[in-house]
Amino acid sequence: MAYSALSSLMYTLEQLVKPNQYFVCQSSTQQHVQSLYQNLSDLQLFLDNTTKEEAKDIETLKAIEKRIRDVMYKAEDKVDSSLRSIILADCTESREGACKFFEEELVKVEKDVDSLMQEVMQMEFNKHGRRSAELATTPSSPEKIKIGENTIIGMEDDFNTILDRLTAQTDELTVISIFGMGGIGKTTLARKVFGDSFIRSQFDKHTWVTISQEYNERQMLLEVASSITTKSNREMSDDQLMEFVYRGLKGRRFLIVIDDIWSTEAWDQMQRIFPNDDNRSRILLTTRLKYVADYVNFPDYPPHSKSFLSLDDSWNLFTEKVFKKDPCPHLLEEIGKHIVQQCRGLPLSVVVVAGLLGKMDPTHDNWKKVEENLNSFFGTVSEQCQSILSLSYSYLPQYLRACFLYIGGFPEDMEIGVSKLIRLWIAEQFIKARSNKRLEVVGEEYLEELIDRSLILADRLTARGRRRSCKIHDLLRQLCLREAHSENVVHTMNWKVPMSLEALFDQRRVILLSKLQGTQVFPTMNRSAITRTFISMESFSTYFPKGIYSIVSQLKLLKVLDVLSIEYDFSWVIPQLVHLRYVAATIMEDVSLVNLRNLQTIILEGYYGSTELRQPLDIWTLSEIRYVDIRGTLYISNPLVAENSSIGKQALFLNNLQTLCLDSSPFVAEIIRRTPNLKKLKISVNRHTILDSANLLKKLETLYLAGQVIFSGNILPSNLKKLSLAYTWIAWEDMNLLANLPNLEVFTGYSAFHGTEWKLNEDVVFRKLKYLLLWECLNLQRWEAGSDNFPMLEKLLLRMLVELEEIPPSVGEIMTLKLIQIDRCSSGVEISANKIQEEQQSWGNYELHVEIIDNQSTLKQLLELFENESLNSEEICQIADDIRSI
């Protein structure tokens, strides 16, 4: 893709003109670099100001974008290959020769770009259609709507029908099926029913299983098993899992939702695990295929056909998405209804078009332009949906296109972690700096724009209300894959679709979605690969095919390497990949990062066969580093040693580092003093460690501590917004000291305190705390607190407080409190929670919800609590053992 290709090469050139770059050669080379960079900036500005709708000849604009992309890819190949030779040169003579060759290559690239600039200048058409470009590129005002997923406009009758079938007096296990085309709202309807509080109260067990086209029996069994017990079941065989699930459901009233099933064979395999105890258990199933729905249905309950929306319902859905509660301007009603009519009642189409129009100024001319484009796209109903999706993609600003297509490379139905996605976007140079904002913040803004345009689905939130995960609809993913293949943005690799190594080498980015066949062989190639990204989404352990390692070792110009899911030693490969910006891998030997000057993200896991810290990692020359997560036997080396070895023995600071995750380190204080701009710190500390240096981190917002610490005075930075403690075993009096943190919004503690009594005096006030979770404070018996101690609390979660007598009654008087969740606590805690709710309801407060969970918390919830990054593997195993013993 032209825009992202330009960004990637521009970033490389930016690094060359920075001071202290040891591989910069002569001043004449610098002049070539600066001249080339300016031309690339002009090309990017041209793309910024151009959309397909501007051109008199759309095909001409497509051709010029392809031409820019191809020239940029070849230019980047020349620059990166010659730079690699300079960086790896082992003597002065070799380095001088490499520098000379680099300058020659740079001159060739300059000529190619100059020629390209002439083509672009000739292509500059008159811009009378400039207004149409503004339709897609003008940012929306803060008042513009955000697309949600909770609306069931036009589905009220469907909802009531399914509700009646689920609660019917039929004792026999009953299957209720919903069928209809993709995007018609089957899953939305099922989720609305599944989440209905009345429905949930009717069943003992609730499970949601997504099947998709490739049925994975083991994954389905694990998902159902997770709703039965907190015990990890991954070590079980498939037969053991089937028996476990059957016994776990036996005698219990359950509701199972099976979403997006594609074959009768999958149902034949699944139905064996569901016992029929004549206790009114139900299975709700969605499918696109009527014959599957007919196959599974019961005689008394024919498949429910999810029909298209009426024009009135389509219009109501459309106006709610675009205008929220405001009416549609009268001038736009006629053309608006005509646009909506073209959607043919398909909810997905209505929502996508609404997301598109929501980004435009609501004028007759703008909407007319969209209407005219829509008219040219219609054929069959299925084609209509794809046409509208393609149109929505065409209206995307240049800077969002690669971000959107990249998401399509993730596995179908995957819950995509937002923080990892944004780190990858940054490493791919998809994110462009905005004013003084951090790149991570800009990445969040990019994601919100895609969600607002209804191209990405918002999923779960963090305790602070930020995006934790997102998803992409199947139809939109198909669009991504089609466009990504055409643009050579990303290629997904699957063992079911064989690919030669030569074909693989021609792909810019490769994402491995499933295991390769163990017998598949990849010979050494005699030519260079242009691949810049290699990501493995599938876990490999015992059956790891040596072919993947062979592939990676030949991808000399990689910039993104994520093979953390592969249990194999990549320590000797990594130092050779001098252009890496993102690396996630397992290493079993010492690894040198001295030549990897562009690294932004490091996720390395040392060998867990030993508990000793025996692999130092020197990161102190990596000035671009933004995210560091090292685990196992790895530890960050002493910065004092690195400073003494540096030229002039200058102090070394990692000013760009935003997130630091350490299992442990003997040099915590020295490390913290040299990372002044940290936003998030996760660390396992040594026994009785004093973290006085943490107060130096004035920008720190999130802190995770595991291990025993000594709290002395104001040791934590005042800007802290989220604090998580695990195995700290501090006194409850020290917890009261945390009230001095003026910005603290979220606190979670797992085995964090010891003592039988937690008493909060009137002067102890957590002024901004919204979320409080206490987990396994086993000897806490009495808790004394008033509503004034937590004036802003919204959620109170208590887990495994088996000796606590009760929740302080005055907690119910907290005006902001919305949820009390109790999990495996004493009966006194449960009784007091229900009493608080009853008392509040007697006063007319029905907004406070109380949830009593019985053995529903799982290891997965624990990992989510610490966002999968705060604990090392040994601590996670210990927590798993604790849960199993309950």
Instruction: State pLDDT tens for residues 748-800.
Output: 999 999 999 999 999 999 999 999 999 998 799 999 999 999 999 999 999 99
Mean pLDDT value across residues 411-433: 92
Give the number of other Cβ atoms within 10 Å of residue 89's Cβ.
16
Which pairing describes strands 457-458 and 469-471: parallel, antiparallel, or unpaired?
antiparallel
**Helix, strand and coil percent figures for the chain, each rounded to 5:** 40, 15, 45
* 644, burial (CB in 10 Å: exposed 0-12, middle 13-18, buried 19+): exposed
Q: Are 58 and 52 in contact (CB under 8 A)?
A: yes
Distance from C-alpha of 22 to C-alpha of 536, rounded to nearest angstrom: 33
Distance from C-alpha of 448 to C-alpha of 457, rounded to nearest angstrom: 10
Distance from C-alpha of 224 to C-alpha of 205, rounded to nearest angstrom: 10
Spatial neighbors of 633 by CB under 8 A, at least 6 apart, are 606, 607, 608, 610, 611, 612, 613, 614, 615
Q: Are 277 and 251 in contact (CB under 8 A)?
A: yes
Structure tokens at 288: 């696109």
Spatial neighbors of 436 by CB under 8 A, at least 6 apart, are none
CA neighbor of 226 nearest in space, from 680, 863, 886, 860: 860
Q: Where are the alpha helices (DSSP H) in 739-826?
A: none
Single-letter residue type at 540: F
Single-letter residue type at 764: V
CA neighbor of 12 nearest in space, from 115, 118, 108, 87: 87
Residue 381 has pLDDT above 50, yes or no: no
Q: Are 619 and 636 in contact (CB under 8 A)?
A: yes
Residue 229 has pLDDT above 50, yes or no: yes
Distance from C-alpha of 396 to C-alpha of 481, rounded to nearest angstrom: 16
Distance from C-alpha of 188 to C-alpha of 186, rounded to nearest angstrom: 5
Task: Give me the residue label for tokens 């802003």.
Answer: 792
Residue 582 has pLDDT above 80, yes or no: yes
pLDDT above 90 coverage of the chain, percent: 33
- pLDDT number for residue 884: 40
Tell me the angle at which helices 186-194 and 156-166 cross, rounded to the nearest 10 degrees: 50
Residue 611 has pLDDT above 60, yes or no: no
Task: Give me the residue label for tokens 């909810």.
Answer: 347
Residue-wise pLDDT for 730-741, tens only, equals: 899 888 889 999
Single-letter residue type at 457: L
Q: Are 559 and 580 in contact (CB under 8 A)?
A: yes
Q: Are 872 and 684 in contact (CB under 8 A)?
A: yes
Distance from C-alpha of 336 to C-alpha of 371, rounded to nearest angstrom: 9
Structure tokens at 534: 């290699």
The CA–CA distances, whole Å, from 676 to 658, 660, 698, 744 equal 9, 11, 7, 20
DSSP state of 329: P
- Torsion angles phi and psi, residue 661, rounded to 5: -125, 120
Identify the residue with better confidence: 126 or 523: 523
Give the number of other Cβ atoms within 10 Å of residue 657's Cβ.
24
Give the number of other Cβ atoms within 10 Å of residue 122's Cβ.
9
Instruction: Return the SS3 of 207.
Output: strand
Q: Are 425 and 403 in contact (CB under 8 A)?
A: yes
Spatial neighbors of 205 by CB under 8 A, at least 6 apart, are 227, 228, 249, 252, 253, 254, 255
Distance from C-alpha of 854 to C-alpha of 856, rounded to nearest angstrom: 5
Q: Are 619 and 600 in contact (CB under 8 A)?
A: no
Query: Distance between the two ends of the chain, CA-based, in angstroms?
Result: 54
Structure tokens at 38: 């300016």
Spatial neighbors of 602 by CB under 8 A, at least 6 apart, are 583, 593, 617, 619, 622, 625, 627, 628, 629, 630
The region of weakest confidence among 119-128, 155-164, 357-366, 625-634 is: 119-128
Distance from C-alpha of 220 to C-alpha of 273, rounded to nearest angstrom: 11
Torsion of CA 799, 801, 804, 805, to 10 degrees: 60
- Give me the sign of the Cα torsion angle 135, 140, 144, 147: positive
Highest mean pLDDT among 87-96, 423-432, 646-655: 423-432
Q: Are 101 and 28 in contact (CB under 8 A)?
A: no
The region of weakest confidence among 314-318, 471-475, 689-693, 853-857 is: 853-857
DSSP, residue by residue, 591-656: ---TT-TT--EEEEE--TT--S--EEE--TT-TT--EEEEETTEEEPPHHHHHHHSGGG-----TT
- Torsion angles phi and psi, residue 630, rounded to 5: -120, 140
The region of weakest confidence among 52-56, 458-462, 723-727, 758-762 is: 52-56
Distance from C-alpha of 737 to C-alpha of 766, rounded to nearest angstrom: 10
pLDDT above 70 coverage of the chain, percent: 81
Q: What is the mean pLDDT of the chain?
A: 81
Distance from C-alpha of 552 to C-alpha of 613, rounded to nearest angstrom: 28
Q: Are 525 and 505 in contact (CB under 8 A)?
A: yes
Residue 299 has pLDDT above 90, yes or no: no
Residue 65 has pLDDT above 90, yes or no: no
User: How sure is the predictor about 430, in pLDDT bands with cuts at 50, 70 and 90?
Assistant: very high
The reported pTM is 0.73
